Structure 1
Amino acid sequence: MGWASEELASIDLGDTRRNRRAIQLIERLAEHPTASIPGACNGWSETQAGYRFLGSETYDWLDILEPHRQCTQTRMAAHPVVLCLQDTTELDFNGQTIKRLGPLSYEAQRGMYLHPTYAVTPEREPLGVLDAWMWAREPKDAEGHRPGAPESLRWKEGYERVANLAGELPDTPLVYVADHEADMLELMVRARDLGTPADWLLRAKHNRALPGGEGKKLWGSVLESEPLGEVRFNLPPGRGRTARTVRQELYAQRVSLSDRRQGFLEVSSP
């Protein structure tokens, strides 16, 4: 029995043949992650069956993800702390004749966006994918506005899903971790209103003004405290930079932010 047979043992796509096809196709693609579907499959008949499977509208990607999500949750329960990481990536299909694609970073590009929640331990052991947002943007209108729901919702809803899961894992504290796009007061207020069932750690984007009317800002206030420690790591070379050793000091301080509704919101700022 292969790994996919074990991971997807509970898959239910309404037909045992579809279930077997899903497991086989996933194993083929995992064996050849950079190959095309014909390159990963064994022969033309298997390739055709793979395309039929992917083109079916009887089920969707969430049905395929569900057994893996269940296994991920089971693995999470065995750990004292789990980090739930969120970030967004572009799926670039520019130049391909695929329906219902949308703009990417540039309006002329075509593709989709994927925003998964990835569970890992603090020791960097991967546990699996919990859920994901996946969407195609609408083109901008004549006035430069993009119709549709605000894309920022993915961060707040991502926290809400982690918070819901925290209730099912009472012995495993969960930490929602997100990039600077998630530095939104709406997310912090939502976490507070839910009772903060999962901790959250956001990369700061805004040097927010602190209450008091003295011009005090978040980043300066945090840096006034004593450092908790230091980390060092090697930064690899990249576009316009050479490799170097980075030294970072760690700070933490509890501050109050105005939530514009009910006075102040207490947060810890690292």
Structure 2
Amino acid sequence: MDTEAIPDLPEVDELSTWLVHELHDMALGDKRLDRRLLDTGAKLAARPSVSINQACADWADTKAAYRLFDNAKTTAEKIRAPHYRRTRERAQGHKRLFAIQDTTYLNYTHHPSTKGLGPIGTAQQNLSGIVMHTSLLMTEQGLPLGLAGQAIWVRPPTMHQRTADERRKLPIEEKESSKWLQALQQTQAVVPPEAQLITIGDSESDLFELFHQARTLETDLLVRAAQNRSVCAPEVGRLWEVMGRQAACGQLQVLVPARKGKPKRQASVTVRFAPVSLKAPRHLRKKMGDMPLYAVLVQEEAPPAEDPPLCWLLLSTVPVHRFADAVERIRWYGLRWQIEVYHKVLKSGCRVEKAPLAGVERLMPYLALFSIIAWRLFWMTLVARHAPDVPCTLVLAEHEWRALYAFHHKTQQVPARPPTVGQVVLWIARLGGFLARKSDGPPGVTVLWRGWQRLTDIASAWLVFHPS
């Protein structure tokens, strides 16, 4: 890691080591500004749930942080650029990668003094905020490698003045749904060319233009169908009816995540699949031909009385020739839930909607920085499940794991050999209130971000008493 380009960089132990590695080659256009971003970013990463005032050491540091986000050179694009490079480095060697795309809305209605916000939600809700669309790169096992693309924007105040029909007739370039196409191009620039890239999206991503772009770029898609499109081959009819006529090829048990007060549950589903050729919408037929895809219909036949039946119709560019292929596509789509957990970390763990910044121009770089911090918290939660036996130096600096070991074991005798990732993540979770009972399962993101903040204070005290 080259840190010579950043003047007066303090000892790495005084900063978040991982953040220095992640952003060390940034180029904001002023080396002092680069140094300030690392310093401020380290303080925010150490205490992601608190305000800027609480995270900074004193009033001078606090003013410097606000000036950092107010500086025209501190742009969201420049902050994300080195992180994209690290994401690409982590992606090396993987034969297959998944880009999970999703949109979230950041609500700043409770900050009326923040200037430049736009409408979110419906016209009746009268909410103000920012729209964020993120592409999160993941391994086939579900480990997040980093962001592969992100766009943050403000909707125009006149957005709700157009009718739904008027918005539908706009070209894709003038629609907000173009975010899916732009993110697909962004992701391709991050992923190594030798890896198979499969972009996954929910029903909002069921856009004929997106399938056309994926065919043009020679990349793969897996999306949940929303449109009952016309099928022209090998059968003729509407998509849902055509798939309903296919013979069931097997049954499967799938996990339905908890939603809106309902606990997670197992669902028994029937699986059907078939190749389909979708006819282009009438206004696109001159530019785009029929679209050959593979469809997988997942239906719950006997849901609980109080729950709606689970029903997914998945469309993919990746061939499905047998039941095992269909099961694999269903498992891939199950990864999509991870980006919703990531957004939970960003909103609840990092509390970005609480930021009292004066305007959107300051919020953009702030959100870009916290998007990287939130990825790190999320990654640390999952890496313990994927690689529990590797040395903890993968996730902690030396003074951090030594302080954690001494605090957890209530001893001053720290071993020369570092513990494993699985061990330290469990100890951090216990700092955050995790009970580690047999029935508890692995720790989640909430207890980890609570524990991480406590570890920061413990590690700072360790440095005071062990300066060597």
TM-score with structure 1 length normalisation? Answer: 0.88
Q: Within the alignment, does 1:186 sit opposite 2:190 as a pair?
A: no
Would you say the 8 A contact 1:116–1:129 is kept in 2?
yes
Instruction: Give percent identity, aligned residues only.
Output: 28
Q: Within the alignment, does 1:104 sit opposite 2:126 as a pair?
A: no
C-alpha distance 133-142 of structure 1, shift in aligned 2 (>3 A): closer
Q: Match for 2:176 among 151, 163, 185?
A: 151
Unaligned runs of 5+ in 1: none
3-state SS, counterpart of residue 110 of structure 1: strand
**Structure 1 partner of 2:279:** 258
**Distance in 1 separating the partners of 2:236 and 2:293:** 19
Would you say the 8 A contact 2:19–2:38 is kept in 1?
yes
**Distance in 1 separating the partners of 2:212 and 2:202:** 17
**1:250, distance to aligned residue in structure 2 (A):** 4.2
C-alpha distance 217-144 of structure 1, shift in aligned 2 (>3 A): closer
**Distance in 1 separating the partners of 2:256 and 2:293:** 31
**Structure 2 partner of 1:119:** 137
**Distance in 2 separating the partners of 1:232 and 1:141:** 39
Would you say the 8 A contact 1:226–1:251 is kept in 2?
yes
**Distance in 2 separating the partners of 1:78 and 1:200:** 21
| Higher radius of gyration, 1 or 2 | 2
Q: Match for 1:68 among 54, 58, 83?
A: 83
Cα deviation, 1:46-83, whole Å, max 9, x if unaligned, reads 11111000111123111011111100011112212111
Higher mean C-alpha deviation, range 49-58 or range 170-179: 170-179
Cα deviation, 1:8-60, whole Å, max 9, x if unaligned, reads 11111122221121112222222222211111111211111110001111231
Would you say the 8 A contact 1:235–1:246 is kept in 2?
no
RMSD after superposition:
2.5
**Structure 2 partner of 1:267:** 293
C-alpha distance 71-229 of structure 1, shift in aligned 2 (>3 A): farther
C-alpha distance 66-165 of structure 1, shift in aligned 2 (>3 A): closer
3-state SS, counterpart of residue 87 of structure 1: strand
**Distance in 1 separating the partners of 2:161 and 2:80:** 39
Q: Match for 1:220 among 241, 262, 278?
A: 241
| More RCO (CA 8 Å, sep 6+) | 2
Unaligned runs of 5+ in 2: 1-11, 297-468
**Distance in 2 separating the partners of 1:22 and 1:150:** 34
**Distance in 2 separating the partners of 1:242 and 1:75:** 35
Would you say the 8 A contact 2:84–2:190 is kept in 1?
no
**Distance in 1 separating the partners of 2:289 and 2:148:** 34
Cα deviation, 1:130-151, whole Å, max 9, x if unaligned, reads 2211111112378545899310
C-alpha distance 28-246 of structure 1, shift in aligned 2 (>3 A): farther
**1:239, distance to aligned residue in structure 2 (A):** 2.3
C-alpha distance 254-162 of structure 1, shift in aligned 2 (>3 A): farther
3-state SS, counterpart of residue 60 of structure 2: helix
3-state SS, counterpart of residue 98 of structure 2: strand
Amino acid at match of 1:137: R
Would you say the 8 A contact 2:149–2:187 is kept in 1?
no
**Structure 1 partner of 2:392:** none
Q: Within the alignment, does 1:208 sit opposite 2:229 as a pair?
A: yes
Amino acid at match of 2:249: P
Amino acid at match of 2:252: E
- Larger relative strand fraction: 1
**Structure 1 partner of 2:415:** none
TM-score with structure 2 length normalisation? Answer: 0.53
Q: What aligned pairs does 1:37-186 form with structure 2 within 5 A after superposition?
A: 37-96=52-111, 97-107=113-123, 108-140=126-158, 143-144=161-162, 149-165=174-190, 169-186=192-209
Amino acid at match of 1:20: R
Would you say the 8 A contact 2:101–2:200 is kept in 1?
yes
Q: Within the alignment, does 1:3 sit opposite 2:18 as a pair?
A: yes
Q: Match for 1:232 among 249, 254, 264?
A: 254
Q: How many equivalent pairs are there?
A: 265
3-state SS, counterpart of residue 230 of structure 2: coil
C-alpha distance 141-62 of structure 1, shift in aligned 2 (>3 A): closer
C-alpha distance 143-27 of structure 1, shift in aligned 2 (>3 A): closer
Amino acid at match of 1:117: S
- Larger relative helix fraction: 2
